[in-house]
Amino acid sequence: MDISAKTAIVYEPETQTVLFEKDADAQRLIASTTKIMTALIVLENCKLDDVVDITWEQAIVEGSSAYLKPGESYTVEQLLYGMMLVSGNDAATALAEHTAGSMEAFAALMNAKCVELGLSNTNFANSHGLDAPDHYSTAYDLAVIAAAAMENEKFCEIFSSRSYDVNDMTYVNHNKLLYLYEWCTGGKTGYTKAAGRSLVSCAERDGMRLICVTITAPDDWNDHQRLYDWVYENYAYVPALTEKIERLAVISGTSEFVRLTSSEDGFLVKASSEIRREVRLPQFVFAPVRLGESAGSVSVYADGELVGEAKISYAQLVLLDKNNIFTPWERFKRAWSFSSRYGVYYPAF
């Protein structure tokens, strides 16, 4: 794949799979994509309705701005939108000092989070991403940071917002991929003269969520679209269960069937793969059936190779129907009837 980025990655967070990479572990300046980690730290340590009074020093921080006015007050939520949508370095500074008391203390929180996430190629010196010798990351590490941040519902809401009104201003998201690519669900841009253009984005299509990171990429909008299209054309997300194995017959219950669920939603495979499932389930179950109780398991194979296994459990409670309790002989006949329609072992679906 020919792309403009010096380093890049496409990462599938559900299975933590790298689907494309180009020098993804190279340490580089990352500009304002830094603010993804900043947002994560703020969301973990502050309340959205916390009030922050803006100082003159915060308002005049160099680089991109959310146009905060010294002496005025903003909520943490408003500052997060100003930081993420228009990349306000003033907002990033105000949030850092509100959260930890100083930029240095906030950077320590960021680096502690890196340790927690198992990242060894990243170090943060500030919350905004302005160039510093000890401020760097990699395409891989940024993908993992974005995946962690996207577990926060509020982060995802901000990440995907096209605009946001604050007082007499409207912040319009700098991430043009939200408009250029149909399946884009969020992103954060970054640029300094030394770092070049960097971009972290997210897309979801056909049930598969992906994170794409490019660093030092003069043609990043097209890089991301080409990378997403390539992955979606070459990989697929197959569910652990199919319609044929999403329910099980129940004898003597208030319902004739019980719904099933699996411990894994599905598995990532090459789109051209031949899929086979081996399912281990009883022919039927007698009521009562307890919600969450183990029912069996499923193994999924792609082109003959095992790609994943999942436990199957009951997805609902089915009570015993006291008006439909069979004698032992009736239970046997009922079981025989069901066994002619439902098997213990489904070799391939």
Task: Determine, yes or no, domain membership for 26.
Answer: yes
71 and 130 share one domain: yes
Of 179, 180, 198, 170, whose CA–CA distance to 188 is shortest?
198
**Domain final position from 215, 236, 257:** 236
Q: Give pLDDT, residue 206.
A: 87
Give the domain CATH number at 40: 3.40.710.10
Q: Is residue 1 part of a domain?
A: no
In a shared domain, residues 298 and 207: no
pLDDT tens for residues 99-116? 999 999 999 999 999 999
The residue whose two tokens read 């652990």 is 240
Considering the entire predicted model, what is its pTM?
0.85
Residue ranges in the chain modelled with pLDDT below 70:
324-349
The parent domain of residue 91 ranges over 7-236
Q: Is the same domain home to 223 and 261?
A: no
Active site residues: 32, 35, 87
pLDDT (0 to 100) of residue 335: 55
Torsion sign across C-alpha atoms 156, 162, 165, 168: positive
Q: What is the pLDDT of residue 221?
A: 98
Residues 177 and 316 in one domain: no
Q: Give the integer Cα–Cα distance in Å for 107 and 136.
A: 12
- How much is the pLDDT for 347? 37
Q: 92-101, pLDDT tens digit by residue?
A: 999 999 999 9
SS percent in the chain: helix, strand, coil, step 5: 30, 30, 35
Considering the domain architecture, whether residues 267 and 215 belong to the same structural domain is answered as no
pLDDT at 346: 40
Under 8 Å between Cβ of 49 and 76 = yes
3-state secondary structure 212-245: EEEECCCCHHHHHHHHHHHHHHHEEEEECCCHHH
* Burial class for 275, CB neighbours closer than 10 Å (0-12, 13-18, 19+): middle
Outline where 125-174 has alpha helix (H). 139-149, 153-160
285: CB partners within 8 A, 6+ apart: 248, 249, 250, 251, 258, 295, 314
Output the pLDDT for position 104. Answer: 98
Assess whether 130 and 229 both reside in one domain. Answer: yes
Instruction: Find the CATH number of the domain harbouring 324.
Output: 2.60.410.10
